[in-house]
Amino acid sequence: MLSSLANETKCKEEEKKVSTKLNHDFLVLIVKMGFLTILKKMKQKEKEMRILLLGLDNAGKTTILKRFNGEPIDQISPTLGFNIKTLHYNDFVLNMWDVGGQKSLRSYWRNYFECTDGLIWVVDSTDRMRMESCREELTVLLQEERLAGATLLVLANKQDLPGALTANDIKQLLHLDKIETHHWSIQNVSAVTGGKLVEAIDWLVEDISKRIFTLD
């Protein structure tokens, strides 16, 4: 009899623990959903986008950012950490994060994934020897949960140099046609001349705006 009562009491305690945990988990979920809703509404109000520039070292990320911002590009050093620029582009505010691409820094990329709306992957079109490494790094990025749904813009940079691979060449080498989890586009550009850069950013901004600045 006592054993039966003890077992019944123990079962009730376990049920209470499970119920408490479920309530807690549900509350956490509601809070997260509420936060994301608030964040989305704030973004809609300000028309703000967070864009992450990544790529292997020497791809031209910083040069692209400076060129797009109208800054001089004659003196550029390798990015050892990150650069942040807030740009007003048409009716939008672009918070652009340029993160160093050296192999020793790539493990830190994940620190910048949160709330990313668009990913710009910059490729040195003349660096044929590292296309496989470029593909591998991009593949890993696209599997990141915090980058899920982010618009992907691949920039085939350095088109002003002789021997540069075309966007179509790079599309095949990076297996871009296999991407099903992200809206993507690849564009031929030159950070030095500025060629096709505005058109590429136009596509990125338009795609992001269609996705996140929608009426509830």
Cα(167)–Cα(64) distance, integer angstroms: 17
Q: Is 56 annotated as a binding residue?
A: yes
Q: Is 59 annotated as a binding residue?
A: yes
Q: Is 60 annotated as a binding residue?
A: yes
Q: Is 62 annotated as a binding residue?
A: yes
- Beta carbons within 10 angstroms of residue 70's beta carbon: 8
Q: Mind giving me the DSSP string for 15-43?
A: HHHHHHHHHHHHHHHHHHHHHHHHHHHHH
Give buried/exposed letters for 126-154 (b at 16+ CB in 10 A, else e): bbeebbeebbebbeebbeeeebeebbbbb
Q: Is 160 annotated as a binding residue?
A: yes
Strand (E) or helix (H) holding 7: helix 2-46
Q: Is 157 annotated as a binding residue?
A: yes
Q: Is 118 annotated as a binding residue?
A: no
Active site residues: 102
Q: Is 159 annotated as a binding residue?
A: yes
Q: Is 156 annotated as a binding residue?
A: no
- Nearby residues of 39 by Cβ (< 8 Å), 6 or more positions away: 115
Q: Per the annotation, where are the binding residues for Mg(2+)?
A: 62, 79
Q: Per the annotation, where are the binding residues for GTP?
A: 55-62, 101, 157-160
Q: Per the annotation, where are the binding residues?
A: 55-62, 79, 101, 157-160
